[in-house]
Chain A
Amino acid sequence: MGYSCKSCKKCMLKDNFNITKDKDGLVIALAGNPNTGKSTIFNALTGLNQHTGNWPGKTVLQAQGTCIIKGKKCTLVDLPGTYSLLANSIDEVVARDFLCFAKPDATIVVTDATCLERNLNLALQVLEITDKVVVCVNLMDEAERKGIKVNTDLLAAELGVPVIPTSARSKQGLDELISMVYELATGNITSNPNPIPYDQDLEEAIQELQPQIEALLKGRLNSRWVALRLIEGDEELLEGIKNYLSQEELEEDRVEEKCAQ
């Protein structure tokens, strides 16, 4: 946060998330449970040598690097590993705020093929926030060794987003991953995640809240997801909205003022 201009989205990214975005560059986030190989993928894609280690919680705050995909500069952001995005802890808040308010052009959710079920909790939560998601089923080599087979086509159909199998340590599947991310981030392909249905009374409450939220947020956040968080009584999110979106609002007001002049 500082003294730079606050007149554009670009500076909002710079001030709040320390990201410098090129004019037609892309911002790509890496999310996933702890210890699924996010940092290994990050290093393989960026050529950086961020510390990877076999213990959870080592990426406490986001790390970033750049890579060039098909001539476009991409800023890759390695988010802290979390089991959830419901903001129980500082790393969950970091990951959630980034996905919500920095609006990456695409998000890679890295999952562990050896215990996929546990990992899909987070994948589904990310899908409720944004539909620009590629699910990467990593550690396929290890799963194979344990006799686990993953039907990625079926998973893709169930989730409604692309699913790419990888073994990041041996660099398998990374080309496919990155080209899928590129296609999604540039809008060449669109994903269509299947919404998660809730109990009827909850759905009714969502129906009631959603139009009001939509009117206030004007598409800046997924209103169904915000409705769910409000029903849950999530104060952290309100705090986040206050922090990030009110700035945007100020910026918009300024632009409008300028136009009026």
Chain B
Amino acid sequence: MAIEKPLSEMPIGTVGTVIENGLTGLTKRRLMDLGFIPGSKIEVLRKSPAGDPTAYYVRGTIIALRNNEASHISIIPHNKF
């Protein structure tokens, strides 16, 4: 059985499905509007030189998140997009 992992800990190239958006309030709402909702397919595209933020491909667009936001989003990694 696949285990849920925080999005922030995923290396570049990981593809997966969003399981939970564990943020609260406006930040949660904002990220939901941007497509971080359970069931969304997601791919870790690249990291900035300092490793934070990270760019993700989600629902047709590239969006960058800070680790402190991405760490609240759990995903199940799988083999291909």
Asked if A and B are interacting partners, one says: yes
User: How many cross-chain pairs have Cβ atoms below 8 Å apart between A and B?
Assistant: 22
Selected contact of B33 from candidates A84, A115, A117, CB within 8 Å: A84
Q: Does A207 contact B (CB under 8 A)?
A: no
A103 to B78, CA, bound (A): 47
Residues of chain B contacted by A83 (CB below 8 angstroms): 33-34
| B26-70 at interface with A (beta carbon < 8 Å) | 26, 29-30, 33-35, 59-61
| A54-110 at interface with B (beta carbon < 8 Å) | 83-84, 86, 88
Q: Does A118 contact B (CB under 8 A)?
A: yes
Number of interface residues of A (CB under 8 A): 9
Residues of chain A contacted by B35 (CB below 8 angstroms): 118
Q: Does A114 contact B (CB under 8 A)?
A: yes
Q: Is the CB of A115 within 8 A of B26?
A: no
Q: Does A18 contact B (CB under 8 A)?
A: no
Q: Is the CB of B30 within 8 A of A118?
A: no
Binding site secondary structure of chain A: helix
Residues of chain B contacted by A84 (CB below 8 angstroms): 29-30, 33
Q: Mark A119-151, 1 if CB is under 8 A from B, else 0.
A: 001000000000000000000000000000000
Q: Is the CB of B61 within 8 A of A88?
A: no
Residues of chain A contacted by B34 (CB below 8 angstroms): 83
Selected contact of B26 from candidates A88, A114, A121, CB within 8 Å: A88
Residues of chain B contacted by A117 (CB below 8 angstroms): 59-60
Q: Is the CB of B60 within 8 A of A86?
A: no
**Separation in Å of the B58 CB from the closest CB of chain A?**
9
A118 to B33, CA, bound (A): 8
Selected contact of B29 from candidates A86, A114, A115, A118, CB within 8 Å: A86
| B2-37 at interface with A (beta carbon < 8 Å) | 26, 29-30, 33-35
Q: Is the CB of B60 within 8 A of A114?
A: yes
CB-based nearest B residue for A112 = B60
Residues of chain B contacted by A88 (CB below 8 angstroms): 26, 29-30, 33
**Separation in Å of the A58 CB from the closest CB of chain B?**
17
**Separation in Å of the A124 CB from the closest CB of chain B?**
11
Q: Is the CB of A86 within 8 A of B59?
A: no
A114 to B60, CA, bound (A): 8
- Assuming the contacts A83-B33, A86-B33, asked whether A118 and B59 have C-beta atoms less than 8 A apart, the reply is yes
CB-based nearest A residue for B26 = A88
Residues of chain A contacted by B29 (CB below 8 angstroms): 84, 86, 88
CB-based nearest B residue for A116 = B60
Between A and B, 22 residue pairs with Cβ closer than 8 Å are: A83-B33, A83-B34, A84-B29, A84-B30, A84-B33, A86-B29, A86-B33, A88-B26, A88-B29, A88-B30, A88-B33, A114-B60, A115-B59, A115-B60, A115-B61, A117-B59, A117-B60, A118-B35, A118-B59, A118-B60, A118-B61, A121-B33
Binding site for B on A (CB under 8 A): 83-84, 86, 88, 114-115, 117-118, 121
Binding site for A on B (CB under 8 A): 26, 29-30, 33-35, 59-61
Inter-chain pairs besides A118-B59, A118-B61, 11 sampled, C-beta below 8 Å: A84-B30, A84-B33, A86-B29, A86-B33, A88-B29, A88-B30, A88-B33, A114-B60, A115-B61, A118-B35, A118-B60
Q: Which 4 A-B pairs have the closest CB atoms?
A: A115-B60, A84-B33, A83-B33, A118-B59
